[in-house]
Amino acid sequence: MDRFRKPRMRMVETQIKARGISDVRVLKAMQTIPRHLFVDEGLIEQAYTDSPLPIGEHQTISQPYIVALMTQALDLKGRERVLEIGTGSGYQTAVLACLADRVFSVERIALLATQARRTLDALNIYNVAIRVGDGSYGWKEEAPFDAIITTAAVSAIPRYLLDQLVPGGRMIVPSGGRDVQTLYKLTRSKENPEEIIQEDLGGCRFVSLIGESGWRK
């Protein structure tokens, strides 16, 4: 029996649905994916609280609401190829894998990539490819992508990533300073692929992207 089922359902109702997340597929994915398997054992009782949690290597698993907000903004229908920058614990990856055809995820820290792969495999989530590298450059060999999500803050919108979006594709990215950022939805115009339509989704706080489009350390 899953003793975390009730806390997970309560998380979705009180932290996510109550704040305006209405995409039925997103809500179902977050009711299904066991967040407690993606946190350190010592924090397992806090897995469904309304906050980010440390996962080691100076990284965090995002607040559940932020995961839902970013995922809903991608407007996934089930046939998409999605690029994720920053695998982290693999929780956001797992949610995406429920909603898209294929997920390609880039993680800078090899230990986190290995742990995420192990957890995803344990959950029989096999439509995810993970590689270690600088997420600033995306995954050119697998481009283009229908959607891109960046789970670490950038100092400027990475051109490499925008170039890997299909016309009509969406990218969700936190951009700004190291302490506080703005979450943006960028849509590449179908009619004019050189045009990028920008939407402000509100303030946020993410760990920094280390790499070409982020910070050196």
- Give the relative orientation of helices 64-74 and 24-32 as an angle to the nearest 10 degrees: 140
Q: Which pLDDT belongs to residue 211?
A: 75
Which CATH superfamily hosts domain 62-204?
A: Vaccinia Virus protein VP39 (3.40.50.150)
Query: What is the model's pLDDT at position 158?
Result: 85
- Judged against a pLDDT cut of 90, whether residue 156 lies above it is answered with no
Q: Give me the mean pLDDT over the 117-126 stretch.
A: 98
Assess whether pLDDT exceeds 90 at residue 31. Answer: yes
| Band (2; pLDDT cuts 50, 70, 90) | confident
Answer whether residue 216 shows pLDDT above 90.
no
In 123-152, which positions are buried (b, 16+ CB within 10 angstroms) versus exposed (e)? eebeebebeeebbbbbbeeebbbbbbbbbb
Q: What is the mean pLDDT of the chain?
A: 94
List the structure tokens of 95.
């949610």
pLDDT of residue 70 exceeding 80: yes
pLDDT at 217: 64
Does the pLDDT at position 214 exceed 70?
Answer: no
Q: What are the extents of the domains in the chain?
A: 62-204
Share of the chain above pLDDT 90, in %: 87
Residues 109-122 have a mean pLDDT of 98
**Active site amino acids:** 62
Residue-wise pLDDT tens digits, 172-208: 999 998 889 999 999 999 999 889 999 999 999 888 8
Evaluate if residue 106 carries a pLDDT over 90.
yes
